[in-house]
Structure 1
Amino acid sequence: MAGPKLFFVFATATSASSVPVGASPLLRLRDETFDPATPGSYNLYLLAGPRRLRLAVADAERRKFVGLEDYELPVGALPDLAAQHDFLNTRGWNEVRLAVSGRAFTLLPAPLFHPGDEAAALRLHHTLAPTEVARHFGHGSLELVNIFAVETAVADWLATTHGPAGRLLHHTSALLAGVAHQRRAGTARQLYLNLGEHELTLVVLGAQLEYCNVFAFASAEDVVYYTILVMQELGLNPDQDEVTVWGELTHDSAVFALLRSYLRQVRFGDRPLDVQYSYRLNDVFEHRYFDVLSLHFV
């Protein structure tokens, strides 16, 4: 398999002035009960990619999502967006969690990790750019540590703006937390897909995590190729084993149509369970934005 990062077994309308310069809002949904002037009542969840920023706001006491937004951005523009956005630079949130996407990550068993070794662990497959820094995030329930690269400007913005309330992690950590929360006791070993912006994340989870990797893709054929290849390597059967899909695709998309041609048990996943959602989010397919919503369970 080319370039694996891990293989181990164990709208509501808003004022034009609030739309940041240079950012294209793809989605802006806010419940009328959401009050950005009282950030201490809410959790702020952010998922930053090279050219996209997705964010969600949850009422901490009611465990209810009251905001969901999605922006196309120029490269590296998160701090610029925050400076012009009406609440991203607001301090005093109950919690802030920022996940960064990308292929520069690795998962290690927790006993093998020592703080300060992040750059050395990443060096096996990724050399940090001058504008990047290595960080880590621990998964206590899975006994794993996720080590990843992040733009220094993004890490500095989170630390400076949100201080101790801000937690930085990789998007695979959010996805793993969401999948683990979604699974019920006794669920069979299964493959999960999440399609991002030209990136495909694949997770195989049974009694424990067996596989997690991110691949770049340019076509529907690429998605099917990586999916079938991982199923073959992990001993999963395309005719029998269920595959759950979340992310940037629709029921009539070429990707989903091709997946259905090769997989008999493919289905779209649901939103994260055990939380509430504003009726404003009813306009969004339930399999969209699973990773950013799953930040609630990290």
Structure 2
Amino acid sequence: MPGLTQRILYIHPDINTLISSEKSCVIAFEKANAVVVLNANQSILKLMTFDTDNVPFAALSKCDFLPVYEAASGAEKVTVVCASEKETLIPDNLFDESMLASYINFNYGQLNGEMVLYDKIEGAGITQVYALPQHLYAYVKEAFPQAALRNRKSIMIELCRNLNEKSKSGFVFVKEGQFDICVFAYKKLLLCNTFSYPSAQDFIYYLMHTLKQLNCDPDTMPLYLYGTIEEESAVYSYIIKYIRHVSFLKKPENIILGATEVPYHYYYDLFTV
């Protein structure tokens, strides 16, 4: 079983001075990679990634997780953010904590030993129910027993809702071969969905079809992007061809971060946690 390949994207030039400050850490697990953000007094000390060479984290041994644990060592506050392949949104007035497994079973079929959790989404009147592999959940609880555990889609909905000001705004989080989209109107969530796309043409088809369903005008509605997308990409070229007002989400003003190996918008959501 391969171990984790670590890549350091940023180290604060005065890290030895700031290392004694009270630190917080955000660890985000995707299917086969992890991102660690170490923060002190709103200054990013370290930004690093861990890659499993396409081996799902759920298949790794406890020892394989050791580099992630060491990267977060010394942090007084830890937040673990997990993506999920099984998740669904439930209106708060219909939510019943005793029905968690049923919500997932209804949408995805029988659970396969996963742990079902939920996030209350601040101010939105909805709850995100999601399943995590038991192995990953057990590691997180053992390694970081005091950590707050959040679903990444929950964070997306909260931060995009706070950014929504106009009658309709679209937000797209781009990952390799997949993207999440949220559309809001006056801070009300109209749609939240995930699409897999094998090509840039598929990406723009799903995006434009979604906007058409919601009667969004591509000439007037702003679309905000973050995640692993760059201006030189074919996906971005298609987006600006069909949508007039497109921009990348900028680094939050209260976060201090020097030049990194990747654009700030790659990990925008993790800087806001």
TM above 0.5? yes
Partner of 1:201: 180
Larger RCO, structures 1/2 (Cα 8 Å, 6+ apart):
1
Distance in 2 (alpha carbons) for counterparts of 1:149 and 1:67? 29
Please tell me whether the aligned partners of residues 66 and 277 of structure 1 are also in contact (alpha carbons under 8 angstroms): no
Distance 1:231 1:86, change over 3 A: closer
Give the paired residue count. 267
Q: Which amino acid aligns with 2:46?
A: G
- Partner-residue secondary structure (3-state), 2:38: strand
Please tell me whether the aligned partners of residues 50 and 68 of structure 2 are also in contact (alpha carbons under 8 angstroms): no
Q: Alpha carbon RMSD of aligned pairs, Å?
A: 2.5
- Partner-residue secondary structure (3-state), 1:289: helix
Structure 2: runs of 5+ lacking an equivalent: none
Distance in 1 (alpha carbons) for counterparts of 2:183 and 2:219? 16
Please tell me whether the aligned partners of residues 89 and 161 of structure 1 are also in contact (alpha carbons under 8 angstroms): no
Partner of 2:212: 232
TM alignment of 1:113-132, pairs within 5 A: 113-127=95-109, 129-132=111-114
- Partner-residue secondary structure (3-state), 2:98: coil
Aligned equivalent of 1:87, options 70, 74, 95: 70
| Structure 1 residue 220 displacement after superposition | 0.8
| Structure 1 residue 93 displacement after superposition | 3.2
TM alignment of 1:260-271, pairs within 5 A: 260-271=240-251
Distance 1:206 1:34, change over 3 A: farther
Distance in 2 (alpha carbons) for counterparts of 1:109 and 1:86? 35
Aligned equivalent of 1:291, options 261, 269, 273: 269
Q: Which amino acid aligns with 2:263?
A: F
| Structure 1 residue 129 displacement after superposition | 4.6
Partner of 2:3: 22
1:138 is aligned to 2:117: no
Partner of 1:72: 51
Structure 1: runs of 5+ lacking an equivalent: 1-20
Greater displacement, 167-176 / 247-256: 167-176
Partner of 1:173: 154
Q: Which amino acid aligns with 1:83?
A: L
Please tell me whether the aligned partners of residues 9 and 262 of structure 2 are also in contact (alpha carbons under 8 angstroms): no
Please tell me whether the aligned partners of residues 250 and 264 of structure 2 are also in contact (alpha carbons under 8 angstroms): yes
Aligned equivalent of 2:196, options 192, 216, 234: 216
Distance 1:33 1:151, change over 3 A: farther
Q: Which amino acid aligns with 1:175?
A: M
TM alignment of 1:23-102, pairs within 5 A: 23-34=4-15, 41-59=22-40, 62-73=41-52, 74-76=55-57, 77=60, 79-85=62-68, 87-88=70-71, 90=73, 93-102=75-84
| Structure 1 residue 292 displacement after superposition | 2.3
Deviations 1:197-254 (CA, angstroms, capped at 9, x unpaired): 3221000012211111111221111211111011011110122211111111111111
Please tell me whether the aligned partners of residues 101 and 111 of structure 2 are also in contact (alpha carbons under 8 angstroms): no
Distance in 1 (alpha carbons) for counterparts of 2:133 and 2:21? 27
Please tell me whether the aligned partners of residues 99 and 169 of structure 1 are also in contact (alpha carbons under 8 angstroms): yes
Partner of 2:239: 259
Distance in 2 (alpha carbons) for counterparts of 1:162 and 1:108? 28
Deviations 1:74-96 (CA, angstroms, capped at 9, x unpaired): 22238444313462463x63322
| Structure 1 residue 289 displacement after superposition | 1.1
Aligned equivalent of 1:241, options 217, 221, 231: 221
Aligned-pair identity (%): 15
Greater displacement, 22-31 / 114-123: 22-31
Distance in 2 (alpha carbons) for counterparts of 1:263 and 1:238? 5
Distance 1:177 1:109, change over 3 A: same
TM-score (norm 1): 0.80
